[in-house]
Structure 1
Amino acid sequence: MQEETLWVGTSSHVSKLGTYLLCLLFCWLIVPIFIAIWTAFELRSIRYQLTTERLQITAGIFSKRTEQIELYRVKDLTLEYPFIYRIFSKGNILFYTSDHTLQNFSLEAISNADGVMDVVREHVELCRERKRVREVDIESL
Protein backbone atom coordinates (compact mmCIF):
# COMPACT_ATOMS: atom_id res chain seq x y z
CA MET A 1 0.00 0.00 0.00
CA GLN A 2 1.27 3.45 -0.96
CA GLU A 3 1.89 5.87 1.89
CA GLU A 4 -0.41 8.91 1.65
CA THR A 5 -0.35 12.25 3.43
CA LEU A 6 -3.44 12.65 5.62
CA TRP A 7 -2.74 15.99 7.30
CA VAL A 8 -0.07 18.69 7.34
CA GLY A 9 -0.07 21.41 9.97
CA THR A 10 1.84 23.74 12.26
CA SER A 11 1.46 25.08 15.76
CA SER A 12 -0.41 28.34 16.18
CA HIS A 13 1.18 31.49 17.54
CA VAL A 14 -1.39 31.23 20.35
CA SER A 15 0.99 28.75 22.02
CA LYS A 16 3.55 31.56 22.46
CA LEU A 17 1.06 34.26 23.44
CA GLY A 18 2.68 34.72 26.88
CA THR A 19 6.09 35.28 25.32
CA TYR A 20 4.68 37.77 22.82
CA LEU A 21 2.85 39.69 25.56
CA LEU A 22 5.99 39.93 27.70
CA CYS A 23 7.99 41.08 24.69
CA LEU A 24 5.35 43.70 23.94
CA LEU A 25 5.38 44.87 27.56
CA PHE A 26 9.16 45.32 27.55
CA CYS A 27 9.60 46.36 23.91
CA TRP A 28 11.13 49.66 25.03
CA LEU A 29 14.25 47.61 25.88
CA ILE A 30 14.62 46.69 22.17
CA VAL A 31 15.98 43.16 22.91
CA PRO A 32 12.49 41.67 23.49
CA ILE A 33 11.56 42.66 19.93
CA PHE A 34 14.28 40.33 18.65
CA ILE A 35 13.17 37.62 21.08
CA ALA A 36 9.61 37.86 19.72
CA ILE A 37 10.84 37.69 16.13
CA TRP A 38 13.06 34.68 16.89
CA THR A 39 10.17 32.95 18.69
CA ALA A 40 7.90 33.52 15.69
CA PHE A 41 10.51 32.13 13.27
CA GLU A 42 11.14 29.15 15.54
CA LEU A 43 7.42 28.39 15.77
CA ARG A 44 6.89 28.70 12.00
CA SER A 45 9.76 26.27 11.39
CA ILE A 46 7.86 23.42 13.10
CA ARG A 47 5.87 21.33 10.64
CA TYR A 48 3.77 18.26 11.37
CA GLN A 49 2.98 15.73 8.66
CA LEU A 50 0.67 12.79 9.30
CA THR A 51 0.73 9.96 6.79
CA THR A 52 -0.94 6.56 6.72
CA GLU A 53 2.22 5.05 8.25
CA ARG A 54 3.88 7.66 10.47
CA LEU A 55 3.90 11.12 12.00
CA GLN A 56 6.84 13.35 11.07
CA ILE A 57 7.84 16.41 13.06
CA THR A 58 10.30 18.71 11.30
CA ALA A 59 11.81 21.65 13.17
CA GLY A 60 14.69 24.05 12.87
CA ILE A 61 15.45 27.45 11.42
CA PHE A 62 18.95 27.03 10.02
CA SER A 63 19.44 23.30 10.50
CA LYS A 64 16.43 21.02 10.16
CA ARG A 65 15.71 17.94 12.28
CA THR A 66 12.97 15.44 11.48
CA GLU A 67 11.60 13.06 14.09
CA GLN A 68 9.39 10.18 12.93
CA ILE A 69 7.07 8.01 14.93
CA GLU A 70 5.52 4.94 13.38
CA LEU A 71 1.77 5.00 14.01
CA TYR A 72 1.67 1.41 15.25
CA ARG A 73 3.86 2.54 18.18
CA VAL A 74 1.23 4.98 19.51
CA LYS A 75 -0.16 3.58 22.77
CA ASP A 76 -2.51 6.36 23.85
CA LEU A 77 -3.72 9.81 22.88
CA THR A 78 -4.99 12.69 25.01
CA LEU A 79 -6.80 15.78 23.76
CA GLU A 80 -6.40 19.03 25.70
CA TYR A 81 -8.14 22.36 25.24
CA PRO A 82 -6.49 24.91 27.57
CA PHE A 83 -8.67 27.96 28.21
CA ILE A 84 -6.69 30.40 26.06
CA TYR A 85 -6.49 27.89 23.22
CA ARG A 86 -10.26 27.33 23.36
CA ILE A 87 -10.82 31.04 22.74
CA PHE A 88 -8.93 30.64 19.45
CA SER A 89 -10.32 27.13 18.62
CA LYS A 90 -6.96 25.43 19.11
CA GLY A 91 -6.03 22.29 21.02
CA ASN A 92 -3.18 19.97 21.97
CA ILE A 93 -2.89 16.28 21.14
CA LEU A 94 -0.60 14.41 23.54
CA PHE A 95 0.96 11.18 22.25
CA TYR A 96 2.16 8.34 24.47
CA THR A 97 4.21 5.83 22.49
CA SER A 98 6.36 2.74 22.87
CA ASP A 99 9.18 4.44 20.93
CA HIS A 100 12.32 4.83 23.06
CA THR A 101 13.50 8.10 21.52
CA LEU A 102 10.14 9.88 21.41
CA GLN A 103 8.01 8.43 24.21
CA ASN A 104 5.83 11.45 24.99
CA PHE A 105 5.29 14.43 22.74
CA SER A 106 2.50 16.74 21.70
CA LEU A 107 1.12 18.57 18.72
CA GLU A 108 0.60 21.93 20.37
CA ALA A 109 -1.99 24.59 19.52
CA ILE A 110 -3.29 23.03 16.32
CA SER A 111 -6.55 23.78 14.55
CA ASN A 112 -9.28 21.12 14.46
CA ALA A 113 -7.47 19.07 17.11
CA ASP A 114 -10.41 16.71 17.68
CA GLY A 115 -10.67 15.94 13.95
CA VAL A 116 -6.93 15.34 13.68
CA MET A 117 -7.03 13.09 16.75
CA ASP A 118 -9.81 11.00 15.20
CA VAL A 119 -7.78 10.57 12.01
CA VAL A 120 -4.69 9.58 14.03
CA ARG A 121 -6.65 7.08 16.14
CA GLU A 122 -8.24 5.51 13.07
CA HIS A 123 -4.92 5.12 11.27
CA VAL A 124 -3.14 3.81 14.35
CA GLU A 125 -5.63 0.94 14.43
CA LEU A 126 -5.38 0.36 10.67
CA CYS A 127 -1.58 0.38 10.82
CA ARG A 128 -1.53 -2.09 13.72
CA GLU A 129 -3.95 -4.35 11.89
CA ARG A 130 -1.94 -4.18 8.65
CA LYS A 131 1.34 -4.94 10.43
CA ARG A 132 -0.27 -7.44 12.84
CA VAL A 133 1.06 -5.59 15.87
CA ARG A 134 -0.51 -5.96 19.32
CA GLU A 135 0.22 -3.83 22.37
CA VAL A 136 0.94 -5.78 25.57
CA ASP A 137 1.53 -4.01 28.87
CA ILE A 138 3.30 -5.95 31.59
CA GLU A 139 3.33 -4.38 35.01
CA SER A 140 6.10 -5.32 37.38
CA LEU A 141 5.18 -6.13 40.95
Structure 2
Amino acid sequence: MSSTKQFQVTFDCAEPERVARFWCEVLGYVVPPPPEGFATWDDFARARLPEDRSSSFACTDPSGVGPRLYFQRVPEGKVVKNRVHLDVRVGTGLVGVERLAALEAECARLVALGAVRVQLLPADDDNESCIAMQDVEGNEFCLD
Protein backbone atom coordinates (compact mmCIF):
# COMPACT_ATOMS: atom_id res chain seq x y z
CA MET A 1 0.00 0.00 0.00
CA SER A 2 1.46 3.35 -1.00
CA SER A 3 0.97 6.57 0.90
CA THR A 4 0.01 9.91 -0.61
CA LYS A 5 2.99 12.25 -0.70
CA GLN A 6 1.34 15.37 -2.08
CA PHE A 7 -2.18 16.69 -2.42
CA GLN A 8 -3.88 19.86 -3.49
CA VAL A 9 -7.06 21.48 -2.23
CA THR A 10 -9.48 22.31 -5.05
CA PHE A 11 -12.09 25.06 -4.92
CA ASP A 12 -15.06 25.22 -7.28
CA CYS A 13 -15.79 28.88 -7.99
CA ALA A 14 -17.02 31.43 -10.51
CA GLU A 15 -13.86 33.58 -10.70
CA PRO A 16 -10.78 31.39 -10.18
CA GLU A 17 -8.14 34.12 -10.32
CA ARG A 18 -10.01 36.42 -7.94
CA VAL A 19 -10.53 33.67 -5.37
CA ALA A 20 -6.93 32.40 -5.76
CA ARG A 21 -5.48 35.86 -5.20
CA PHE A 22 -7.65 36.26 -2.07
CA TRP A 23 -6.24 33.00 -0.65
CA CYS A 24 -2.68 34.06 -1.59
CA GLU A 25 -3.17 37.07 0.68
CA VAL A 26 -4.77 35.03 3.47
CA LEU A 27 -2.06 32.37 3.57
CA GLY A 28 1.02 34.15 2.24
CA TYR A 29 0.93 31.91 -0.84
CA VAL A 30 2.23 32.92 -4.27
CA VAL A 31 1.19 32.46 -7.88
CA PRO A 32 3.58 29.89 -9.36
CA PRO A 33 5.59 30.71 -12.49
CA PRO A 34 3.78 30.24 -15.82
CA PRO A 35 4.22 26.97 -17.72
CA GLU A 36 7.47 26.44 -19.59
CA GLY A 37 7.56 28.33 -22.86
CA PHE A 38 5.49 31.27 -21.58
CA ALA A 39 6.96 34.46 -20.13
CA THR A 40 3.76 35.42 -18.27
CA TRP A 41 0.40 33.95 -17.30
CA ASP A 42 -1.21 36.44 -19.73
CA ASP A 43 0.88 34.91 -22.56
CA PHE A 44 -0.29 31.46 -21.49
CA ALA A 45 -3.93 32.62 -21.37
CA ARG A 46 -3.72 34.08 -24.87
CA ALA A 47 -2.51 30.69 -26.17
CA ARG A 48 -5.62 28.95 -24.81
CA LEU A 49 -9.08 28.75 -26.33
CA PRO A 50 -11.21 31.76 -25.31
CA GLU A 51 -13.55 29.61 -23.18
CA ASP A 52 -10.56 28.16 -21.28
CA ARG A 53 -8.66 31.39 -20.61
CA SER A 54 -9.99 32.05 -17.12
CA SER A 55 -11.17 28.54 -16.27
CA SER A 56 -8.58 27.85 -13.57
CA PHE A 57 -5.86 29.36 -11.41
CA ALA A 58 -3.55 28.05 -8.70
CA CYS A 59 -1.37 29.24 -5.86
CA THR A 60 1.37 27.58 -3.86
CA ASP A 61 3.11 27.82 -0.54
CA PRO A 62 6.48 29.50 -1.22
CA SER A 63 8.08 27.31 1.47
CA GLY A 64 6.83 24.16 -0.28
CA VAL A 65 5.29 22.85 2.94
CA GLY A 66 1.58 23.59 2.44
CA PRO A 67 -0.62 22.05 -0.24
CA ARG A 68 -1.15 23.63 -3.63
CA LEU A 69 -4.52 25.37 -3.92
CA TYR A 70 -6.33 24.95 -7.23
CA PHE A 71 -9.35 27.00 -8.28
CA GLN A 72 -11.60 25.83 -11.11
CA ARG A 73 -14.52 27.63 -12.69
CA VAL A 74 -17.84 25.82 -12.47
CA PRO A 75 -21.13 26.97 -13.96
CA GLU A 76 -23.25 26.63 -10.83
CA GLY A 77 -23.11 28.87 -7.80
CA LYS A 78 -22.59 27.72 -4.24
CA VAL A 79 -25.85 26.39 -2.81
CA VAL A 80 -25.20 24.77 0.56
CA LYS A 81 -22.62 24.69 3.33
CA ASN A 82 -19.17 23.34 2.42
CA ARG A 83 -18.55 19.71 3.38
CA VAL A 84 -14.84 20.54 3.76
CA HIS A 85 -13.37 23.86 4.85
CA LEU A 86 -10.00 25.35 5.73
CA ASP A 87 -9.06 26.30 9.27
CA VAL A 88 -6.62 29.21 9.15
CA ARG A 89 -4.54 28.65 12.28
CA VAL A 90 -3.75 32.11 13.68
CA GLY A 91 -4.39 31.45 17.38
CA THR A 92 -2.37 28.27 17.90
CA GLY A 93 -1.03 28.14 21.44
CA LEU A 94 -2.99 31.19 22.56
CA VAL A 95 -5.91 31.14 25.01
CA GLY A 96 -8.44 33.56 26.38
CA VAL A 97 -8.04 37.27 25.68
CA GLU A 98 -4.76 36.80 23.76
CA ARG A 99 -6.37 34.28 21.42
CA LEU A 100 -9.41 36.49 20.82
CA ALA A 101 -7.16 39.48 20.06
CA ALA A 102 -5.18 37.46 17.47
CA LEU A 103 -8.39 36.15 15.88
CA GLU A 104 -9.99 39.61 15.75
CA ALA A 105 -6.88 41.22 14.24
CA GLU A 106 -6.71 38.61 11.48
CA CYS A 107 -10.47 38.84 10.94
CA ALA A 108 -10.20 42.60 10.38
CA ARG A 109 -7.36 42.08 7.86
CA LEU A 110 -9.36 39.48 5.92
CA VAL A 111 -12.58 41.52 5.93
CA ALA A 112 -10.57 44.32 4.29
CA LEU A 113 -9.62 41.79 1.56
CA GLY A 114 -13.29 40.94 0.93
CA ALA A 115 -13.99 38.15 3.42
CA VAL A 116 -17.19 38.12 5.46
CA ARG A 117 -17.28 37.53 9.19
CA VAL A 118 -20.06 35.07 10.01
CA GLN A 119 -19.82 34.60 13.76
CA LEU A 120 -17.56 34.23 16.76
CA LEU A 121 -17.77 30.72 18.18
CA PRO A 122 -16.81 31.23 21.84
CA ALA A 123 -14.68 28.80 23.80
CA ASP A 124 -16.45 25.96 25.57
CA ASP A 125 -15.37 22.92 27.61
CA ASP A 126 -13.90 21.20 24.52
CA ASN A 127 -12.76 23.93 22.11
CA GLU A 128 -11.03 27.30 22.08
CA SER A 129 -12.71 30.27 20.40
CA CYS A 130 -12.72 30.58 16.62
CA ILE A 131 -14.35 32.86 14.05
CA ALA A 132 -16.44 31.42 11.22
CA MET A 133 -15.93 33.37 7.99
CA GLN A 134 -16.60 33.27 4.24
CA ASP A 135 -14.18 34.01 1.42
CA VAL A 136 -14.91 36.34 -1.50
CA GLU A 137 -17.29 33.78 -3.07
CA GLY A 138 -18.98 32.60 0.11
CA ASN A 139 -16.88 29.49 0.85
CA GLU A 140 -16.76 28.90 4.59
CA PHE A 141 -13.52 28.84 6.54
CA CYS A 142 -12.54 29.35 10.17
CA LEU A 143 -9.97 31.47 11.91
CA ASP A 144 -8.76 29.04 14.54
- TM superposition score normalised by structure 1: 0.27
Structure showing the higher helix proportion among its residues: 1
Structure showing the higher strand proportion among its residues: 1
